[in-house]
Amino acid sequence: MKKSLWQKDIIRSNFKTLNKDIDVDVLIIGGGITGVTTAYNLIDTKYDIVLLEADKFFNGTTCKSTGKLTYLQDLKYQDIYNLYDFETAKLYYEAQKDGIKLAKKIINDNNIECNLIKTDSITFTTSKKEVPKFDCERKILDKLNVKYYSVSNDLNQKDIKSLILVKNTYVFNPVKYLNGILNVIKNKDNISIYENSRVRKIKKENNYYVAYVNEFKVKAKKIVVSCNYPFFTIPGFVPFKTYMEKSYITATKVDYIKTISGITSNYPTISFRYHVDKDENYFIYLNNSSKLCDKLNYKKNYNECVNTAKKITGKVANYKWTNMDVMTNDFMPLIGRVSNEEKNVFIATGYNTWGMTNGTIAGKIISDLIKSKKNKYLKIFNPSRGMTITKFKNFISNTVISNTKAYSFNLIKKNPSWYKNKACVTKINGKRVGIYFDNQGNKHVVSNICPHLKCFLTFNEEDKTWDCPCHGSRFDVFGNVVRGPACYDIKIDETKE
C-alpha cells in the first residue's frame, strides 16, 4: 500500500508479536491515536495494561490523515444543532477545544517534536447554494461565542462564495506525535506492547474477557476496542450506525508555506494544509472524498487528485495515498461503553474524519470510565444513544444505500478496463474467487468474499489490494488481511479446490 508523507518518520521499536498467554487488568486493542492516548492516560495508575497492534506501528488511519487539530470542522455545529439541540452542539465544541488542549499538553509535557504549527482554519464553498448554510453556521458560532472572520488574506477569493475563518487551530505530524507518546509509555513497568498481534475474537467468561490472538489468549478485566472499526458486529451494532468515507491525498514539496488550512463544506470535499519540517515545505491536498461504495476507479481518482495538486503548485506530487474513516449517521462519534450490558468493554469510533481531536478526547473519556471518574462528554458520545426519525432517514440514505450498492454491483465485471486484464473475479467449484496476475505472470487466487460481513471485494489496481467497498477491510494479493474490520485472511488452499 502507498505510504503517507508522515510514515517516513516512523521510529521502529520492533515490539514482539504476542507469544504467550497473559492476564491483565486492561487490554487496549489498536495502536492509533485512540489506543495510544488511552494507554497514556492510564499509565500512571495501578492497572496492568497490554496494548495490542494488529500491524506494525504506525500504519492505521491516524498516520494517513491530514493532521489538522481544529474545532472548525466543515459545518458541523449546524448538523449537530439541527439533529439535536444547542446544548449538544456546545458540548461537542467544548470537547474539540479540550481535545486540542490535551494534545498540546501531551506535546509540551513530553517535549514531543511533531511539527506543531498554529494556523487559521477555514471552511469555504465555491457553490452559491451553500451560502445560506454558512449564514446559519455563523449564527451558531455567535451563540458559542466563537470569534470568526468571513475573509482570508491568504486565499484568492475569486471563486469562493462564502467562508468562515477561525484562529488558534493547529496542524502537526501525526506519526511524530504518536512516536512521541509511544516512547513515553513503552518504558513504564505496567504496560506490555505487542505488534503484529491481531485480535480475532473476544469471549466473555465469568467476570473477565478473553481475547484471542493466533494461538494465544489475553485475559482482561476491561477491554478498550480502539481499532478504528470494531471487528465484531454485536455488541454495539456499529455497521448499522455508520458508513465509510474514503479520500485521495497528495503532498507536494513547495518553496513557500501559508499558515492556513481549509476544507470545503460540500461534497466532493477538498481539503488542504501546509507542512514544514526542517528545510522541507509541503502542500497537502485532498479531494475525491466519497462513500466507500462510490468512486471505485482508484487509478482515475488518484490521477484527478495528482493533476489538481499540480495545477495549484506547478509541481508533481512527491507522495500520494488514500485514507478512510468511519462516519456516523448522526454526526457524533461513538465513544464509551459498547452497550448497556457490557459495562467493561469500551469502543471509540465514528470520528467523521475528525479523529485528531475526537481520538484524543476519546482516550480521556475511556480512561476516566476505567478509573470510575465522571466525564461530561460521555452523554453526547454514548454509543447506545437512541434512534430518531432523522437518524433513521440518514441510516437509510447512508448505511443501507451504501451497503446495498456495494453488495449488489459486481463492479469488477462491469469495468474490466480498469484492471487491464491484471485481475478478474470468477467462480471455481461454485465459490467466488478473485484472481490477480502479477508481472511475472504468476496467478494469485483468493476468496472474493470479505470474512467480515460477506461483501464482495473489488480489486484496487493502484495499491494491488482486494478492498471491501462496504466496511473498508483490505487484503493483499496473497490473501493476508492488511486492514480491518475483517480479522481473517482470504487465502484459498488451491490443492483442496
Residues that bind ligand FAD (CB under 6 A): 29-35, 52-55, 59-62, 65-68, 198-199, 226-228, 231, 247, 249, 286, 323-325, 351, 353-357, 359, 484, 487
Nearest distance in Å: CB 249, ligand FAD: 6
* DSSP character string of 331-399: SS-EEEESSSS-TTEEEEE--TT-HHHHHHHHHHHHHHHHTT---TTHHHH-TTPPP-HHHHHHIIIII
Contacts of 58 (CB under 8 A, 6+ apart): 7, 10, 31, 32, 175, 178, 179
Task: Quote the CA–CA distance of 416 and 436 in Å, as a whole number.
Answer: 13
Amino acid at 18: L
Residue type, 139: K
Cα–Cα distance measured from residue 80 to residue 87, given in angstroms and rounded to the nearest whole number: 10
Instruction: Give the residue with the Cβ less far from ligand FAD, 290 or 458.
Output: 290
Rounded least distance, CB 55 to ligand FAD, Å: 4
- Angle formed at CA 163 by CA 160 and CA 167, multiple of 5 degrees: 135
**Which lies closer to ligand FAD via its Cβ, residue 174 or residue 433?**
174
- Least Å distance, CB 58 to ligand FAD, is 7
> 193 or 446: whose CB is closer to ligand FAD?
193
Our CB check for ligand FAD shows the closer of 212 and 437 to be: 212
The rounded Cα 99 to chain-centroid distance in angstroms is: 16
DSSP H or E stretch at residue 425: strand 423-428
Q: How far apart are CA 38 and CA 496, in angstroms?
A: 45
Question: Which CB, 35 or 434, lies closer to ligand FAD?
Answer: 35
Kind and range of the H or E run holding 90: helix 86-109
Q: Tell the residue number behind the cell numbers 480512561, with chain if given.
A: 367
The phi-psi region of residue 9 (left if phi > 0; otherwise alpha if psi is between -120 and 50; otherwise beta) is: alpha
Q: Smallest distance from the beta carbon of 488 to ligand FAD, in angstroms?
A: 10
CB of 46 to ligand FAD, least distance (A): 25
Q: Prior bond to 172 cis, omega within 30?
A: no
Nearer to ligand FAD, 175 or 423 (CB): 175
Nearest distance, CB of residue 294 and ligand FAD, angstroms:
15
Smaller CB separation from ligand FAD, 54 or 433: 54
Min. distance of Cβ 445 from ligand FAD in angstroms?
25
Q: Which residues pair with 123 in a beta bridge?
A: 164, 263
How many angstroms separate the CA atoms of 468 and 458, rounded?
Answer: 6
In the complex, minimum distance from the CB of residue 313 to ligand FAD, in angstroms, rounded to a whole number: 19
Burial 308-334 (b: 16+ CB within 10 A, else e): bbeeebeeebebbbbbbbbbbbbbbbb
Q: Which is nearer to ligand FAD, 121 or 344 (CB)?
A: 121
The answer to whether 182 and 37 have CB atoms below 8 angstroms apart is no
Pair 423, 462: CB distance under 8 Å:
no
Residues 6 or more apart whose CB falls under 8 angstroms from that of 8 comprise: none
Residue 486: CB minimum distance to ligand FAD, A: 9
Shortest CB 144 distance to ligand FAD, Å: 19
Residue 205 β-bridge partners: 208
Is 352 or 419 the residue whose CB approaches ligand FAD more closely? Answer: 352
The letter for the amino acid at 224 is: V
State the minimum distance, in angstroms, from the CB of residue 452 to ligand FAD.
11
Using CA atoms, how far apart are residues 210 and 123, in angstroms rounded to an integer? 45
The smaller minimum CB distance to ligand FAD, of residues 59 and 465, is found at 59
The distance of closest approach from Cβ of residue 68 to ligand FAD in the complex, given in angstroms and rounded to an integer, is 3
With beta carbons less than 8 A apart as the criterion, state whether 95 and 88 touch.
no
Cell of 229: 472499526
